[in-house]
Chain A
Amino acid sequence: MKTTRFQQRDLVWGALVVMLAALPLIPGVIGNSFRAHVMIMVLLYASMAQSWNIVSGYAGQTSFGHSVFFGIGAYGAGMAVVTYGLTPWPGFLAGALLAAVVAVLISWPCFRLSGHYFAIATFAIVEIFNRLFMVWDWVGGALGLDYPILPDGWVNFVWSQTKVGFYYGALALFVLIFGIVRWIETHRLGYYLRAVREGQETAESLGVNSTAVKLSAMAFSAFLAALCGGFFVQYNYRVDPPMVMSLEMSMKFVLITILGGLGNFWGPLLGAMILIPLQEYTRAYLTVLGSGVDLVIFGLIIVLMMVKQPRGIMGIVTDFRARRRRAGALPDAGA
């Protein structure tokens, strides 16, 4: 029964959040450790990927330009703190709103481009923003923005002694974004998004204003990606164009989601859980083998994944379930 499946997913989700929230209560698990860093990065990247999932997974518009929104969010917070001496919070909001507006302005003309041309257009946009920010003095140009020393706490959203604050910040972001996607999934927007993905003309014959739907998806997605950018700049105490507005960063959004499973609620989390620890631990422990080893392995994994199971981890799960069902092990309860 469909309703039962919805409830099941929500239970798992709820339990996970509770567990994660309770984790710092166990002494020594979080603290200032590298492990805490990895967990925070997993939560952050999972959130980023999930924001991208809205547009690319659910609506089927593959964009490589999300690092632009991420970057706008980062610079929003960064400028609030460094240029204007405020707390980052107005920056978070301003960055997110600006990102949503930019998203709508850029995507509207781009939507009439088909597949490959659209993808390349998104590359071009990232590169344009990247280079512009490199020479724009108001945002710090190539040097970017560096944070001064600030007192710890939620007001300034920085913590120097322990990672617990950042951990809860990342968790809050995670809950927000995953929660929003869950809401979208079970309400009209989610159905309209998927209908547009499956057949735009068909959807329109059913009364779906596909342009409006795609633009809302972009706006939502950009808003949330920007919030992640805001967190990112706080965590790193600085920002410059290559850190946030680059094709590399855009590809991270893409890869994590695809590796986990595009268009699927759990995909971004699964993808982040595999790729981020891989990235962080190889970067930390394999430097003896020389630079870039983590990316060599990354690249190889991506190739293998695409050859063997392009639908990602969720693809593996679905195939496994389908095979078991055919063998008669599970009742035919529908996909």
Chain B
Amino acid sequence: MDIFAQVIIDGLLTGMLYALVAAGLSLIWGVMDVIHFAHGEFLMVAMYLSFWLGFLAGVDPVVSWIASGVFLFIIGALTYRLVISHCIGKSAMPPLLATFGLSLFLKNLCMNRFSPNFRLLQDTLLGGKTVMIGSVVIGLPQLVTGVFSLIMLLALYYLIKKTRLGWAIQATAMDREAAELMGIHTDRIYLLVFGMGGACVGIAGGLMTSYLAVHPEVGSLFGLIAFLIVALGGFGSVPGALVAALIIGLVEALAGFYIAPVFKYVAVFMLYLVVVMVRPKGLFGW
């Protein structure tokens, strides 16, 4: 029973982290209808930045997340301005493939410069420490990251639902032309949203180096899972991303523990296929 609780909590915490990563993607997808293939690689960049700040300048992830958040916001905005804005249109392929090209570029650039080796920060503030709740052992970095992700998600949700900027974003998402007619500068909204998507992974990545090793492939898996979460939760929906992420985190943990580690992701993918067959627009999709 205790082990069950342990697995559940692990799954939920993983899920919360996934949720932050996925929320950025969901926003971009929902507002601009762009599949951002390089989202995972943005996470990788954030992690490398955080790692090098920690390794070379001794800045701890609990602080450097700010830097990676800002840096990835800028990267996201630049990506939009230089690449996406030029190929957005009625076909979904050009932005998708452009971001795919970008992901190849970033991943292999890091592989070339930083080698494929796994790099883990030693002596971080949170790293290696645990907390006991009852008889359940929880890693401190996972707990902090998970809770912090949740807070960020709530902030994001509040931003979108309750502020004028958020309404402008929603309007642009629903009908770009109509939003323009209302005086909304949709190009700037897109720029902002892409930046925000970057910031989400920037923050997540910054914190993750407390306990996860960074390497060139780290983005790929997180990226793919983020896609599943967004599609499962329905694109454009932040609460959908959270619910879907928690479900996926749980399924991954349960399958990994009770079936076999190898089947962790198979279960996740099958879950996606099953859900999407029953509800072709995801759980909360627009």
Contact A296 B105 (CB under 8 A): yes
From 164 to 219 in chain A, residues with beta carbon under 8 angstroms from any chain B beta carbon are: none
Contact A113 B280 (CB under 8 A): yes
The contact of B112 among A116, A293, A305, by CB within 8 Å, is: A293
Tell whether, in the assembled complex, residue B270 and residue A128 are in contact, meaning their CB atoms are under 8 Å apart: yes
Known: A255-B97, A289-B112, A295-B104. A310 touches B269 (CB 8 A): no
Instruction: Tell me whether A254 and B97 are in contact in the complex, defined as CB-CB below 8 angstroms, given that A116-B231, A291-B112, A292-B112 are known contacts.
Output: yes
| Stretch of B43-51, B54-62, B86-94, B182-190 with 4 or more beta carbons under 8 angstroms from chain A | B86-94
Selecting from B16-24, B69-77, B126-134, B271-279, the interface stretch reads B271-279
Say whether A27 faces chain B, with CB atoms less than 8 Å apart: no
Question: What's the Cα separation between A257 and B97 when bound, in Å?
Answer: 12
Q: How far is it, in angstroms, between the C-alpha of A124 and the C-alpha of B275 when the chains are bound?
A: 12
- Is the C-beta of A11 less than 8 angstroms from some C-beta in chain B? no
| Interface hub of A62, A114, A299 (most chain B Cβ within 10 A) | A299
With A and B bound together, what is the CA distance between A116 and B236 in angstroms?
A: 13
Whether A119 contacts B35 by the Cβ 8 Å rule is yes
Question: How far in angstroms is the closest Cβ of chain B from A296?
Answer: 5
Q: Tell me the bound Cα distance from A33 to B245 in angstroms.
A: 51
- Is chain A's binding surface mostly helix, strand, loop or mixed? helix
A125, CB-defined interface residue at 8 Å: yes
**Interface members, chain B 182-226 (any A CB < 8 Å):** 224
B246–chain A nearest beta-carbon distance, Å: 19
Q: Which of A13-21, A129-137, A222-230 contacts B (4 or more CB under 8 A)?
A: A129-137
Query: Is B1 on the interface with A (CB-CB < 8 A)?
Result: no
> Does chain B have a CB within 8 A of A330?
no
Is B146 engaged at the interface, CB distance under 8 Å to the other chain?
no
Docked Cα-Cα span, A237 to B217, in Å, equals 27
Contact pattern, B 235-257, Cβ under 8 Å of A = 1, otherwise 0: 10000000000000000000000
B34 to chain A, nearest CB (A): 10
Bound-complex Cα distance A131 to B83 (A): 34
B231 touches A302 (CB 8 A): no
- Shortest CB-to-CB span from A248 to chain B, Å, is 9
Range of interface residues on chain A? 35 or more
Which residues of chain A come closer than 8 Å to B272, judged between CB atoms? 120-121, 124
A302 touches B112 (CB 8 A): no
| A299 touching B227 in the complex, CB below 8 Å, given contacts A116-B29, A258-B93, A310-B87 | no
- The answer to whether B265 and A131 touch across the interface, beta carbons within 8 angstroms, is yes
Residues of A within 8 A of B281 (CB): 114, 117
Q: Chain A residue with minimal CB distance to B234?
A: A117
| B residues near A23, Cβ cutoff 8 Å | none
Q: Which residues of B contact A303 (CB under 8 A)?
A: 83, 98, 101-102, 105
**Bound Cα distance from A128 to B267, whole angstroms:** 9
Among A113, A128, A298, A300, the residue within 8 A (CB) of B269 is A128
> Given the complex, which residues of A lie within 8 Å of B277, measured CB to CB?
109
Residues 101 to 124 of chain A near chain B (Cβ within 8 Å): 109, 112-117, 119-121, 123-124
- Determine if B142 is an interface residue (Cβ-Cβ < 8 Å): no
Q: Taking the nearest CB of chain B, how far is it from the CB of A18, in angstroms?
A: 34
Chain B residues with CB below 8 A from A146, complex form: none
* Contact B262–A135 (Cβ < 8 Å): yes
| With A112-B280, A290-B112, A299-B105: A125-B97 Cβ-Cβ less than 8 Å | no
Q: Chain A, 262-303, contact with B by CB distance < 8 Å: what is the 0/1 string?
A: 100000000000000000000000000111110110111111
B81-139 at interface with A (beta carbon < 8 Å): 82-83, 86-87, 91-98, 100-109, 111-113, 116
Residues in B whose Cβ lies below 8 Å from that of A254:
97
B282 interfacial contact with A, CB 8 Å: yes
Contacts of B27 on A, CB cut-off 8 Å?
none
A-B contact pairs, 28 of them (CB 8 A): A115-B92, A116-B29, A117-B280, A117-B282, A120-B228, A120-B272, A121-B272, A127-B265, A131-B262, A131-B263, A247-B224, A251-B100, A262-B93, A289-B112, A290-B112, A291-B116, A292-B107, A292-B112, A293-B108, A295-B105, A296-B104, A296-B112, A299-B102, A302-B101, A306-B94, A307-B83, A307-B87, A310-B93
Residue ranges of B at the interface with A (Cβ–Cβ < 8 Å)? 29, 33, 35, 82-83, 86-87, 91-98, 100-109, 111-113, 116, 224, 227-228, 231, 235, 262-263, 265-266, 269-270, 272-273, 276-277, 280-282
Besides A135-B262, A299-B104, 5 more A-B contacts (Cβ < 8 Å) are A116-B231, A117-B282, A120-B272, A131-B263, A303-B83
Cβ-closest 10 pairs across A and B: A302-B101, A299-B105, A299-B104, A292-B108, A306-B98, A310-B94, A295-B108, A303-B101, A124-B269, A290-B112
